[in-house]
Amino acid sequence: MKWALLSVWDKTGIADLAKVLIKHDYRILSSGGTGALLQQAGIPYTDVATYTGFPEMMHGRVKTLHPKVHGGILGRRGIDDAVMQEHGIEPIDLVVVNLYPFEAMSAAGLTLEEIIEYIDVGGPAMVRAAAKNHKFVAVVVDPADYCMTADAVRRGGFTADERLSLAAKAFSRTAAYDGAIANYLTGIDRPFPEVLTVQFRNGRALRYGENPHQAAAVYGDAGIAGEQPLQGKQMSYNNYLDVDAAVGLLREFDDCAVVIVKHNNPCGVATGDKLLDTYIAAREVDPVSAYGSIVAMNREVTADVARELTRTFVEVVIAPSCTPEALEIMKAKENMRVLRLPEPVVQDEIRSIDGGVLVQRTEPFREDWRVVTEREPDAHEMRAMHLAWKVCRHTKSNAIIFADEKAVIGIGAGQMNRVESAEIAVRKARKPLAGSAVASDAFLPFPDTMEVAAAAGATALVQPGGSIRDQEVIDAANRLNIAMIFTGVRHFRH
Q: Classify residue 160 by burial, with Cβ atoms within 10 Å: 0-12, 13-18, 19+.
A: exposed
Q: Tell me how crowded residue 7 is: count the other CB atoms within 10 A of its CB.
A: 26
Residue 249 phi/psi, 5° resolution? -75, -40
Active site residue 494: no
Residue 493 gets which letter from DSSP? Answer: -
Three-state secondary structure string covering 294-353: EEEECCCECHHHHHHHCCCCEEEEEECCECHHHHHHHCCCCCCEEEECCCCCCCCEEEEE
The answer for residues whose C-beta is within 8 angstroms of residue 83's C-beta and 6 or more apart is 71, 75, 89
- Whether the CB-CB separation of 176 and 184 falls below 8 Å is answered with no
Q: Which of 1, 13, 169 is nearest to 90 (CA)?
A: 1
* Known catalytic membership, residue 132: yes
Among 263, 331, 380, 431, which one carries the catalytic annotation? 263
Catalytic residue among 11, 19, 132, 431: 132
470 Cβ contact partners less than 8 Å away, ≥ 6 residues apart: 372, 443, 486
Burial class of 69 by CB neighbour count within 10 A (0 to 12, 13 to 18, 19+): buried
Catalytic residues: 132, 263
